Amino acid sequence: MAELLQYLTSGLAVGMVYALVALGFVLIWKSSSVANLALGQLVLLSSWFTYGMLVQAKFPAWLGFPLVVLFALALGWIIERFILRPLIAQPILSLITVTLGVAYFIEGVVSFIWPWSVAALPRLFPTEPIRFAGAVVSQEYLWVTFISLVVFGLLTIFFKYHKMGIAMRATADDQLAVQACGIPVTVIFSRSWMFACVVAAVGGVLISSIGGITYGLVETGLKAFSVVILGGLDSFLGAIIAGPIIGLAESLGGGYLTPLTWAGVKDIIPFIIIIIVMLIKPYGLFGETRIERI
């Protein structure tokens, strides 16, 4: 029982982080139909940047975190302006593979600036465990879940009520109509990339404050794809619901399946889920089924 509760809390927390990162993907996909395969690398880069600010440059948190957000905004803007903008209206194959190029480039940058492969961020949350119903639950996980929920809440309010958010949703719905209304679509693309990078950075900082910064963060980004696939590519709600599902499947499966199979089964569960979803319900739980016409 105590074991189960631990799996549940850690799974939930990790799942919320996946959901956050996945949200970054959905943002870009909805507004510009670009599949961003560099998600994991964005998470990696922003975590290392946080490390650079907080540990190497020794900035206090109140200065370091805003700088990380600024950095993420700038990163998103640069990627959109100089890489994706020239490729507008190109075939989908180019749009996907160019993000692979970005991923490769970012990996190079990371190992260029931070050649040591492992580092620890300073603890952001109190580590004292909480005893609850006979189980020991790490407080960090609860904090991560809480902060992810807050970010979700803020984003939801933004999309619902802010002028920019409404414009972004409109762009997702119909680009032509939006352009006819006088909303500059390229600005929307740019903003969605900036938001996506910030969300990825928040996810990266949250997860690396617990597990440290390793190359495994790239896999975190890749696992976020299973959230996207399960929830549906164009659904925020899908990401929020599928995130915890994947996180729970991963931690419960890792906990209870490892004795039955091989070690490390935890890391492979999201990918198996991807394959299963692809075979049964390729557009995910909440994704819009696209009916194509010639």
Partner 1 sequence: MGLPSGTRNYTYAQDMAILRTRTHWALFIGFLVLLFGAPLYLSGYWLGVANLIGITLIAATGLNLLVGYCGQLSIGHAGFIAVGAYTTAIFTNRLELPFLVGLIGAGVVAGIVGLIFGIPSVRVKGFYLAITTIAAQFIIIWVINHWSSVTGGFVGIKVPYASIGPLVFRSESSQFYLIFTIAVICTFFAKNLARTRVGRAFIAVRDNDLAAEVMGINLFYYKLLAFFIGCFMAGIAGALLAHWVGFMNAEHFSLTESILYIGMIIIGGLGTTLGPILGVVVIRLLQQVLTIQLVPFLEESLPLPSGFATGVTPMLFGLAIILFLILEPRGLAHRWMLFKSAYRLWPFSY
Tokens of residue 79, six digits: 């990627």
> Rule CB under 8 A: which of 131-190 touch partner 1?
none
Q: Which stretch binds partner 1 (CB under 8 A): 51-59, 85-93, 157-165, 172-180?
A: 85-93
User: Which is closer to partner 1, CB of 112 or CB of 161?
Assistant: 112
DSSP letters spanning 49-75: HHHIIIIIS---HHHHHHHHHHHHHHH
Question: Residue 224 burial by CB count (10 A; 0-12/13-18/19+): exposed, middle or buried?
Answer: buried
Per CB under 8 A, the list member of 3, 63, 108, 181 interacting with partner 1 is 108
Out of 5, 67, 78, 83, name the contact with partner 1 by CB under 8 A.
83
Of 3-11, 13-21, 57-65, 83-91, the segment contacting partner 1 by CB under 8 A is 83-91
Measured from the CB of residue 245, what is the shortest distance to partner 1 in angstroms? 16
In the complex, the smallest distance separating the C-beta of residue 113 from partner 1, rounded to whole angstroms, is: 6
Tell me: does residue 268 bind partner 1 (CB under 8 A): yes
- Contact yes or no for 250/264 (Cβ under 8 A): no
Q: Which is nearer to partner 1, 107 or 135 (CB)?
A: 107
Asked if 178 and 170 touch (Cβ cutoff 8 Å), the reply is yes
Question: Residue 251 has which token pair?
Answer: 């931690």
SS3 annotation, 190-235: HHHHHHHHHHHHHHHHHHHHHHCECCHHHHHHHHHHHHHHHHCCCC
CB of 33 to partner 1, least distance (A): 9
Q: How far is the CB of 108 from partner 1 (least distance, A)?
A: 3
What is the per-residue DSSP string for 139-187? HHHHHHHHHHHHHHHHHHHHHHHSHHHHHHHHHHH-HHHHHHTT--HHH
Angle at 12 between CA 223 and CA 67, to 5 degrees: 70
Which value, in Å, is the radius of gyration of the alpha carbons in the chain?
19
Site for partner 1 contains 101 (CB under 8 A):
yes
Supply φ then ψ for residue 33, to 5 degrees.
50, 35
* Contact mark string toward partner 1, 187..226, x via CB under 8 A: --------------------------------x--x--xx
Rule CB under 8 A: say whether 285 interacts with partner 1. Answer: no
Among 73, 78, 109, 135, the residue binding partner 1 under the rule CB under 8 A is: 109
Q: Using the rule CB under 8 A, which residue among 97, 122, 130, 174 binds partner 1?
A: 97
The residue to which tokens 């799942």 are assigned = 15
Contacting residues toward partner 1, per CB under 8 A? 29, 35, 37, 83, 86-87, 90, 92-94, 96-98, 100-115, 219, 222, 225-226, 229, 233, 262-264, 267-268, 271-272, 274-275, 278-279, 282, 292-294
